[in-house]
Amino acid sequence: MAAQQPNDARIAVIGLGSMGFGMAASLARAGFDVVGADVQKTAVERFATEHGRAAGSPAEAAQNADIVVTVVVNAAQTRDVLFGPNGAATTARKGAVIISSATMSPRDAVDLSERAASLGLLYLDAPISGGAHRAAEGALTILASGEAAAFAKARPALDAMAAKLYELGDKPGTGASFKMINQLLAGVHIAAACEAITFARRLDLDIAKVYEVITGSAGNSWMFENRVPHVLAGDYTPRSAVDIFTKDLGIISDMSRDQKFPTPIAAQAFQMFLMTAAAGMGRDDDASVARLYAKIAGLDLPGQP
């Protein structure tokens, strides 16, 4: 989206993977002065050439920044790029706002928020949803919570990155909780889709026809509709890897124990992702859970030996 008026804030984007790169590009397009950092030098150079400026570390990127967007894999990496030796918190402006995008437990979000506050920084617990394509278009869904001052400072940047911004209250941890409920369902639905489509194969059904029937029936899910085509095409190039859901269903498992709340369906799905990772497919597309069922049962699937 083009900016209606110049955005003169300085923004550091830490993490230029497929999501972070698109988010940084969307911010630059909206007129912000954007500096990117990543452990991958090629991503940083490409960003500098195409959209903004490059930095060699989070601390360098955040020099005089008003806004720091972290788009790394998990809570540990977020902690490191913010509060580690070369962390962004060492150089960002006093009163700057951190927009934390990684999927993590609500407890980790609260911890990071408190640590930011102790350094005079604002913090938004702001996990994202939508994939690389929508990140590049500035059309993500953002599930954000945090104090009003943090929203006030971050909103122009959030608007540049999101098509849909949910403002979920003033408590850090709420954004993370909403994201984790989504991940619980998404993980279960992927595992169920893989179980169902391979069971259909075992029953000698035409699985392309099964896809057609189910996507028009009450058994459909967003994940069934999105992932089963990978199985039909025999293409396990990772759009989202098995390891993402071993991580996220692992967080659900931790939260479940902390809360003393049973999540038996998610726990079973977690085991299927762990089996798929154990079988050597952790970095492949998460539809590989279907290959795990096929491997166990000696079934052939499209494109598989």
Taking the C-alpha atoms of residue 153 and residue 176, their distance in angstroms, rounded to an integer, is 20
> Do residues 243 and 282 make contact, with C-beta atoms less than 8 angstroms apart?
yes
Cβ proximity to a second copy: between 29 and 247 the closer is 247
Cβ proximity to a second copy: between 94 and 260 the closer is 260
> Do residues 122 and 144 make contact, with C-beta atoms less than 8 angstroms apart?
no
Other beta carbons within 10 Å of 131: 16
Strands of 140-144's sheet, edge to edge?
128-129, 140-144, 162-167
Residues 6+ apart with CB under 8 A from 130: 139, 140, 141, 163
Q: How many degrees, rounded to 5, is the angle at CA 276 between CA 273 and CA 281?
A: 120
Taking the C-alpha atoms of residue 32 and residue 181, their distance in angstroms, rounded to an integer, is 33
What is the Rg, in whole angstroms, of the alpha carbon atoms belonging to the chain? 20
Q: Which two tokens stand for residue 197?
A: 């489509």
* Residue 257 Cβ vs a second copy, minimum distance, rounded to whole Å: 12
* Residue 7 Cβ vs a second copy, minimum distance, rounded to whole Å: 27
Cβ proximity to a second copy: between 117 and 296 the closer is 296
Question: How would DSSP label each residue in 102-143?
Answer: S---HHHHHHHHHHHHHTT-EEEE--EESHHHHHHTT-EEEE
* Residue 59 Cβ vs a second copy, minimum distance, rounded to whole Å: 34
Q: Which two tokens stand for residue 225?
A: 């509709």
* Residue 215 Cβ vs a second copy, minimum distance, rounded to whole Å: 10
Cβ proximity to a second copy: between 21 and 270 the closer is 270
Cβ proximity to a second copy: between 9 and 168 the closer is 168
Catalytic residue status for 179: yes
* Residue 36 Cβ vs a second copy, minimum distance, rounded to whole Å: 26
Q: Which two tokens stand for residue 279?
A: 């079988």
Cβ proximity to a second copy: between 56 and 302 the closer is 302
Other beta carbons within 10 Å of 200: 18
Chain positions contacting a second copy, by CB under 8 A: 106, 129, 141, 143, 164, 166, 168, 174, 177-178, 181-186, 188-189, 191-193, 195-196, 198-200, 202-203, 205, 209-210, 213-214, 216-224, 226, 255-256, 259-269, 271-272, 293, 296-297
Catalytic one among 179, 209, 247, 260? 179
* Residue 226 Cβ vs a second copy, minimum distance, rounded to whole Å: 7
Residues with catalytic roles: 179
